[in-house]
Structure 1
Amino acid sequence: MPRHIALVPAAGSGSRFGAQMPKQYLPLAGRPLIHHALATLCAHPRIDRVVVVLAPEDLYWSGHDWSALGSRLMPVHCGGASRAASVRNGLWEIAGWARPDDWVLVHDAARPCLSAGMLDALIDALDNDDTGGLLAQRVADTLKRADAADRVEATVPRDGMWQAQTPQMFRLALLADALDRCPDVTDEASAIEALGLKPRLVAADAANLKVTWPEDMQLAELILRTRENRT
């Protein structure tokens, strides 16, 4: 049976965030931000390995204790200059032991609120899919396209619009080929689409937010604390 391998690109500097260290290492609910997603992935019974793609010069990873996450966790120092480059380098790194038909679930290091239920929904929906797909959320708000002066240029119809999330789940060989052909994409699904394929959208919710700006940290902590109090 094909395995499920999580791949978490974590080589970014988080420059937009404006912090003194890479965003993925900022403290969130008592842990480094990246720890929360890794804990969910490492604890999930259907995930066989969790590969974290770090920058070659990363000096922060070794300063934390990751032992509680268990033996599935595998850090590799082969990150690239972009997300796509880090993912592609990570695929090269695992190609020596992973099979071409293994599923690779690429997840943002800055999405700390991933849940086991979201992973189950994604894997259940895609395990027999010919292409693969991604977690995503239907767009509910009215969309505006701005001009160069940040004035409304047009209202964009929201019918059929979804906001992409992660994990994005594709077969290793297919994803590697897509990223070789389209190295400048901002997410894996875009590379798959460029091959003429149609990834499946699997409904998620707003809790799977990406921490992009400082104010997102408070919301992420609220979600994590609320989830913890329910258990």
Structure 2
Amino acid sequence: MPTPVADHWAIVPAAGIGARMGAAYPKQYLPLAGRPVLLHTLDRLLISPRVAGLVLALREDDPYWPTLGYAPDKPLLIVTGGDSRAASVLAGLEHLAGHTAPYTPVLVHDAVRPLLHPADIERLCDEPLDADGCLLATPLTDTVKRADAAGRITQTVPRDGLWTVQTPQRFRLDVLRAALSDALAAGREPTDEAQAMEHAGYRPRLVAGRRDNVKITVPQDLPLGECLLAAQAGEGV
């Protein structure tokens, strides 16, 4: 089997404050199995043989990052993020554009998805990369209800064809950079990179990922994350 080529760069937007967590400091710095969530996330990306390096977007004067002493073996570039996810990712893309080719594949990954499995990275990176790009997601299996302002059900939504989006989301640097720049210039705030691409007329492809690629968002996600980490360790991850 040929040796995988490190032809991708990762971008991790980590400038948010994580208000929904209700913690004293941003959720990406909360402890998970004895280490900050963010360091688990960075490790999962940087150990991949497909990843050449990583751009980390932090808020200006972030007081937590300098205390971690994180020193990976691969290039880690730090940029100042923006007031939104889209602005932070765009800052990372702008910086990366000065270091690599325009058509470089980029993997944009949530700072608080520390359980990304190596098999998912391989599956995503093995997909043919056209201008539309691709992203990890899982088919929706729960029943979905639409509610009114009072919290009462107004509709049961058919779940056929519905997916829950994950990260990484994988695009060509030049195409994603243009899509995000155009979206922000038009006053739109895409909630993820795929939405910016959709607004630009592209149709990103969904790639089935593992369900343990959870996002740490609310307090109960931390003990869940620790259980999943232990389970993955049992698999040799």
Tell me which interval the TM-score lies in, with the shorter structure as reference length.
over 0.9
1:54-83: CA deviation from partner (whole Å, max 9, x where unpaired): 11120100111212x32332222x110000
* 1:119-138 mapped onto 2 (5 Å cutoff): 119-127=121-129, 129-138=130-139
Please list every run of 5 or more consecutive structure 2 residues that lacks an aligned counterpart in the other structure.
Answer: none
Tell me how far apart the structure 1 counterparts of residues 175 and 7 of structure 2 sit (CA, whole Å).
15
* 1:1-231 mapped onto 2 (5 Å cutoff): 3-67=7-71, 69-76=72-79, 78-127=80-129, 129-183=130-184, 184-231=189-236
Tell me how far apart the structure 2 counterparts of residues 172 and 219 of structure 1 sit (CA, whole Å).
34
Q: Matched residue of 2:137: which SS?
A: strand
Sequence identity percentage: 48
Tell me how far apart the structure 2 counterparts of residues 66 and 32 of structure 1 sit (CA, whole Å).
11
| Structure 2 residue identity aligned to 1:209 | V
TM-score for the superposition, normalised by structure 1: 0.95
Preserved CA contact (<8 Å) 1:42 1:72: no
**1:130 CA drift (Å):** 3.7
| Structure 2 residue identity aligned to 1:91 | L
1:78-99: CA deviation from partner (whole Å, max 9, x where unpaired): 1100000100111111111121
**1:2 CA drift (Å):** 9.1
Greater mean alpha carbon deviation, residues 89-98 or residues 3-12: 89-98
TM-score for the superposition, normalised by structure 2: 0.93
Q: How many residues align?
A: 228
Tell me how far apart the structure 2 counterparts of residues 213 and 126 of structure 1 sit (CA, whole Å).
35
**1:106 CA drift (Å):** 0.3
Please list every run of 5 or more consecutive structure 1 residues that lacks an aligned counterpart in the other structure.
Answer: none
The structure 1 segments of at least 4 consecutive aligned residues displaced by more than 2 Å after TM superposition are 71-76
